[in-house]
Amino acid sequence: MADVDAFTDIPTTTLADLLGRGQVMDFGIRPLWGPVPRVAGPAFTVRCPPGDNLMLHAAIHRAGPGSVVVVESADLDYALAGGNVCAVARRRGITAFVADGLIRDLAEVREMRFPVFARGVIPIPGTKSAARPLNERVRCGGVAVDPGDTVVADEEGVVVVPGARRDEVLAAARTGLAEEAAESLDTWESAHRARIDRILADQGFEG
């Protein structure tokens, strides 16, 4: 099985080209501070109903080191986590949060350089009352995420590599990057112009 850490060398743009739109979270899931390092890890999945953050707070004590905690919430009224939650997650070796929702205490999170990819910030916290199962399929940023899927996130966005395709995708990405590195800009430009001109000609464009 491919080493998940190897995906930190693979840009999300490369993965998006291989996997297509369906595995790329929507543009609202963004890094909340920058420049953020590229992160990758197996998904530890969490579902929080609107207004409640109990299960994310539970997850930081249960997710293994190296995990990316992925949260389904879609709540834009209350924060899922703040500085202390992120600090404990960081101390326990959790790689990042990817949350379809909001956090708070951004200055603290930025200072500790804990990667959070989410929809934004709000200063009011949610409640803690709704227990839900952990590590079940969730939906985050429009993408279905299963426990153990590889999540790769950087300043371009967040891509989910299905667990069953991990080795295949990593190999294809490495091949593609090696080919890109070996190609000069002049060669790329020549091939690109020929391709664009061919498409234009096929559509009857003159000019």
pLDDT for the residue numbered 207: 79
9-26 per-position pLDDT tens digit: 999 999 999 999 999 999
**Predicted pLDDT at 1:** 46
Whole-angstrom distance, CA of residue 144 vs CA of residue 20? 14
pLDDT at 110: 98
**What does the pLDDT look like over 59-98, one tens digit per residue?**
999 999 999 999 999 799 999 999 999 999 999 999 999 9
pLDDT tens track for 112-171? 999 999 999 999 999 999 999 999 999 999 999 999 999 999 999 999 999 999 999 999
Task: Report strand pairing: 39-47 vs 150-154.
Answer: antiparallel
pLDDT of residue 2: 59
Answer whether residue 4 shows pLDDT above 80: no
The whole-angstrom separation of Cα 105 and Cα 16 is 31
Does 197 score more than 80 pLDDT? yes
* pLDDT at residue 16 in the model: 98
**pTM for this prediction:** 0.94
Strands 96-99 and 150-154, bridge-based pairing = unpaired
